[in-house]
Amino acid sequence: MRITEATDAFARHLTDVRRLSPATVRAYRSDLADLADSVGDAPLDEIDLEHLREWLWRATKRGDARSTLARRTAAARGFFTWASESGLIAADPSLRLVAPKRGTTLPRVATADALGAVLDSLQQTAAEGDPVALRDHALLETLYGAGIRVAELCGLDLDDLDHARRTARVTGKGSKERVVPFGAPAAVALDAYLVRGRPALLARGDDPTGERALFLGARGRRLGPRAAYDVVSRTLGPVVGSAVGPHALRHSAATHLLDGGADLRTVQEILGHASLGTTQIYTHVSSERLAATYRLAHPRA
């Protein structure tokens, strides 16, 4: 059997057994297609460690990011481990395949004052009653207020909100559910959107009675991550940078929570990180800010 022939079965394994997100499965499919092209789609039992190292070396030479190389290594390891356990190959050639070390890149964040100004401006625009403006204000307030991922936001249904407790039930990576709080500004924005914005957007759809999604697109259907990214990039880009997306709001929320005195475990629970180590990067962001303030303010810095 060849890589291209086994990819569909491996993708089902990733989805049904390992419960990986659709985005991760698509990325792994792309990685395996690239590997198949590199080895000429040779039979699985003819691929050895040197083939895999050559594949990664080519990716390095064409300038792939370290994070991409690390993911490709993980894709190859996962694929050949699965193939070995499934009896498709006698030995796993990826056992000694080493992933390149990732560089430490601090997440891009906006200051609390800058975000406050952006959100206040959105609130003023939404007050005019345009349904898309009402949605955009509620969308950014929810992303920042709850610190959730864009896929989690787009997956929210009406029943996932608890208005009395100001919490949302979100489904994160690996189909794991968690309940996250959101603040009063997000609650106000959501209420305005649900009363005046969402019904107008819903009326534009084909089936106004069947759509349960919280956030809707301009045609009355569930808002997709790409459209949400465009909203955030258009609104927040001038504040943080031209390439900013919804994750910048998540990074900002985590950093501002730590700056405000929240403990690391609490932030981990809110963000839905499986490992505390993933959350710890935000302590570096806060430390950088602390050091910058010290250098500017202390006479002996």
Catalytic residue list contains 247: yes
* CATH code of the domain containing 14: 1.10.150
Our answer to whether residue 251 is catalytic in this structure is no
Is pLDDT of 156 > 70?
yes
71 with 175, same domain: the answer is: no
Give the span between the Cα atoms of 200 and 100, in whole angstroms.
50
Residues 215, 122 within the same domain: yes
Average pLDDT over residues 271-281: 78
Q: Are residue 119 and residue 222 in the same domain, yes or no? A: yes
250 is catalytic: yes
pLDDT at residue 293, as a whole number: 56
pLDDT at 112 over 70: yes
Radius of gyration of the chain (CA): 23
pTM beyond 0.85: the answer is no
With respect to residue 155, please indicate whether it lies within any of the assigned structural domains: yes
Q: What are phi and psi of 216, to 5 degrees?
A: -115, 155
Out of 149, 198, 251, 256, pick the active-site residue: 149
pLDDT tier, 65 (very low <50, low <70, confident <90, very high otherwise): confident
Model pLDDT, residue 251: 86
Number of domains in the chain: 2
Is 273 marked active-site? Answer: yes
294 is catalytic: no
Q: Is 173 a known active-site residue?
A: yes
Beta-sheet strand order (sheet of 177-181):
161-162, 167-171, 177-181
Looking at residue 122, which CATH number applies to its domain?
1.10.443.10
Mean pLDDT lowest among 41-45, 78-82, 156-160, 209-213: 209-213
Domain region containing 78:
3-85
* Model confidence pLDDT, tens digit, residues 249-275: 888 888 888 888 888 888 888 888 877
Average pLDDT, the chain: 86
